[in-house]
A and B are shown apart, each in its own frame.
Chain A
Amino acid sequence: METRDAALIGELLERLSRETDICVALIEDRERVIYTNDAMAAIDDVDVLISRDAVVQAAASGAPVDTQATTPDGRVWETRYVPMDHDGRRTVGVIARNITELDRLARQQRRIVKDSLEAAERERGRLADVLHDDVLQRLLFAHQEWASIPAEPAVRRAIDAIEDVTQRLRAVVGELHPITLASTTLRSAVEALAHDHAARGPFTVSVQVSDHAGGTHDLLVLAALRELLTNVARHAPGAEAGVLVTPVDGELVIEVADDGPGFDPSVVDEHVGLAALFARIEASGGRTALETSADGTRVRLTLPAT
Chain B
Amino acid sequence: MSRERATVVVADDHPVYREGLTRAIGQRADLELVGEAADGHAALETIRELRPAVALLDVKMPGLDGLQVLHAIRRDELPTAVVLVSAHAAEDLVYQCISGGASAFLGKQADRDEICDTVAAAARGEVRLPPEIQGQLVRQIQLRAATDTPRLTTREREVLGMIADGMSAPDIAQQLSLSPATVKSHLQTLYDKLGVNDRAAAVATAMRTGLLE
- Which residues of A come within 8 Å of B, CB atoms? 132-134, 136-138, 140-141, 143-145, 147-148, 163, 166, 170, 173-174, 180-185, 187-188, 192, 206-208, 211, 240-242, 244, 246, 248, 253, 255, 257, 259, 291, 293, 295-296, 298
Contacts and interface: CB of A to CB of B under 8 A. Distances in A.
Given A137-B16, A259-B153, A187 B92 contact: yes
A231 B4 CA distance: 61
B91 interface: yes
Interface stretch (B30-38, B46-54, B163-171, B181-189): B181-189
B174 interface: no
B208 interface: no
Nearest to A138: B16
B88 A173 contact: yes
B153 A257 contact: yes
A166 B108 CA distance: 10
Contacts of A181: 59-60, 65, 86, 88, 90, 93
A148 B111 contact: yes
B61 to A, nearest CB: 10
Nearest to B153: A242
B147 A140 contact: no
Contacts of B185: 257, 291, 298
A259 B88 contact: no
Interface size classification for chain B: 35 or more
Contacts, number: 115
Contacts of A147: 111-112
Interface of B: 13-14, 16-17, 19-20, 24, 59-60, 65, 67, 86-88, 90-93, 96, 108-109, 111-113, 147, 150-156, 178-179, 181-182, 185, 189, 192-193, 195
Contacts of B153: 206, 240-242, 257, 259
A248 B192 contact: yes
A208 B60 contact: no
B192 A293 contact: no
B107 to A, nearest CB: 9
B178 A295 contact: yes
A242 B186 CA distance: 11
A70 B62 CA distance: 50
A55 to B, nearest CB: 31
29 contacts: A133-B14, A137-B16, A137-B108, A143-B109, A144-B24, A144-B111, A144-B112, A148-B111, A148-B112, A148-B113, A166-B109, A170-B87, A173-B88, A181-B90, A187-B92, A188-B91, A188-B92, A188-B93, A192-B90, A206-B151, A206-B152, A208-B150, A241-B153, A242-B152, A242-B156, A242-B189, A255-B192, A259-B155, A291-B185
Contacts of A174: 88
Given A137-B87, A207-B151, A295 B179 contact: yes
Given A248-B192, A295-B179, A242 B151 contact: yes
B67 to A, nearest CB: 5
B96 A183 contact: yes
B151 A185 contact: no
B88 A137 contact: no
Contacts of A173: 88
Contact of B60 (A180, A185, A192, A296): A180
